[in-house]
Amino acid sequence: MKIVPTRRADYGVRALINLAQNHPAGQAAPAISKDMDIPVGFLRQVLQELGRAGLVSSQPGRTGGYSLAKEPETITLYDIIDALEGPGDEPACALDGGPCHWDRACAIHWVWLAARESFTNQLKSATLARIAADDQSLRAGNLPAPLVEEHR
């Protein structure tokens, strides 16, 4: 099974990591684009969506740019993905269109629902501050790739 964020969510997370590492000063879009290898046009769209969600603020003008609208400790990975992809914890049948014998549920409904709930809880427990700190440590070579057990 492959669980990966969309490109939009990937870029949003990378942009917010950059802003968290430059908090509270913020950054201009071209600097974020260069630092995080994100196409600047797409980045601006993502930052606008994150702004509408109350995660990013922008200051227009020559010396303007983007900054976090909240402290990085209060922003979760769930907040970022929810802002860019919509809620991921809506109940849905896993075998939609398959051999369901119930009204809006299937034989693996309970398994799928529990897995989604666990996944959502992990996203809600991962703060931007922690993610940004891990990113800095990984870049500096001070932290090996984190193991799953270390994040429990």
Task: Domain of residue 34: give its range.
Answer: 7-87+129-151
What does the pLDDT read at residue 96? 64
In a domain, 29, yes or no: yes
Q: What is the CATH number of the domain that holds 45?
A: 1.10.10.10
Residue 59 sits at φ, ψ, to 5 deg, of: -120, 115
Residue 106 domain-assigned? no
**Domain annotation covers residue 13:** yes
Q: Is residue 20 part of a domain?
A: yes
| pLDDT at position 109 | 78
Q: With a cut of 50, which residues of the chain have pLDDT below it?
A: 152
For 44, the token pair is 């601006």
The pLDDT, as a whole number, for residue 27 is: 93
Q: Is 21 exposed, middle or buried (0-12, 13-18, 19+ CB in 10 A)?
A: middle
Residue 112 lies in a domain: no
Number of domains composing the chain:
1
Residue in 31, 109, 26, 122 with CA at minimum distance from that of residue 78: 122
